[in-house]
Amino acid sequence: MSVYKRGGIWWYRFRWNNEEIRESTKHTNKRVAEQMEAAHKTSLAKGEVGIREKVKVPTLKEFGAEFMRTIETQCAGKPGTVEFYRSRFNTLLASELGAKTLDAIDEGAIEKYRQSRAVSQSRRKRTLSPASVNRELATLRRALRLAYEWKMINRVPRIKLLRGEKNREFILPHSMEAVYFAALPSPLCDVAMVLVDTGLRLGELISLDWRQVKLEPAKGARFGYVTVLSGKAKSSKSRNVPLSGRAVEVLQRQGKKEEGLVFHRADGTPLEKSLMGQQQKRVRDLLKLPTDFVLHSLRHTFGTRLGEAGADAFTVMRLMGHSTVTVSQRYVHPSPEAVELAYERLTVLNMQRLRTNPGTVSEAEAEARQ
């Protein structure tokens, strides 16, 4: 038997007459999957494969339970991500798309949904932002891609996102830090200081345990550090992030313990992202700062400052836990001075190598070429 698991669902794969047969069982039980594989092989042996009934394509609503089970399996340990997909998927199911079979959700049906949502209003009686609609469309795209992998549909329709989505690009100026931190309530003030000095995601920080914190530098190092054990991307996990002097002072104020949450409410329960977001909004409005200044902007501020300090994209990627170096490159903008300095170092290195390993080119010729 050659069954294997993908996203919580068992698949089987085998070769028949030099042709690979691969299908989803749509079941989470391994024993059932093995039985289905055996039945398929028997059907092929009897020559009955040509009369096998065509699998009924489910509606988006019928597919919903399997989709969410897969999301829960793939995003285990990330309740926020699971809830994100559940909320957006429920919105899709409440529309006309919910009753359509997956193969009937084509470009025309998607465009109709897109136009309808573009003029819809939120619970606060405001027109939905392009970002909100695009998150729903992205959820639909992930569901249809999964259905395609499971061979429920033979193609994934093209999904166009709405234009006009705004990126949050706010950078906290150094000159504004003192005023901003002074206006923040506790413990948000301490949280914000660590965020801007470490670039951690808010979820990574509020789930930080004292066992992940080393306030004293390791042997041969200059800074203490925190170890991030889980994150949004694979590269976010098990990474060490150095601590600035200010970050160390903030962490010391929390009362060092052997274990337990570093940041928590007075009763010991975890901090809530939504509550801190509301406090951030009140302070932002009080100081009349741009509306795109959210707590995640402090991570963006850290990355920008890293780039300004001369860090290369790979260093930014390692510290911030980005999924690819392409994401990190947005923070790196080499100045003319940095380019000149890099080239100067290259020429010095070349001359050192020529002196220690003389070749056919003389030093005079080498210097003339520089």
Whole-model pTM: value is 0.63
Say whether domain 174-331 belongs to CATH 1.10.443.10.
Answer: yes
Measured distance CA(274)–CA(171) in Å, rounded: 21
Amino acid at 317: M
Find, among 45, 44, 25, the residue nearest to 35 by Cα. Answer: 25
Find, among 135, 125, 152, the residue nearest to 70 by Cα. Answer: 152
The contacts of residue 152 (CB under 8 Å, 6+ apart) are 55, 57, 58, 63, 102, 103
317 burial via Cβ count (<10 Å: 0-12, 13-18, 19+)? buried
Report domain extents, the chain. 3-51, 60-149, 174-331, 337-369
Give me the tens of pLDDT residue by residue for the chain, a chain 370 residues long.
578 888 788 888 888 777 788 888 888 888 888 888 888 888 777 665 554 455 688 999 999 999 999 999 988 877 888 999 999 999 999 999 999 999 999 999 999 999 999 998 888 788 888 989 999 999 999 999 999 999 899 899 999 988 877 766 789 999 999 999 999 998 999 999 999 999 999 999 999 999 999 999 988 889 999 999 865 555 556 799 999 999 999 999 998 888 999 999 888 899 999 899 999 999 999 999 998 899 999 999 999 899 888 888 999 999 999 888 888 888 887 667 777 877 888 888 888 888 877 654 444 454 544 4
Measured distance CA(264)–CA(169) in Å, rounded: 29
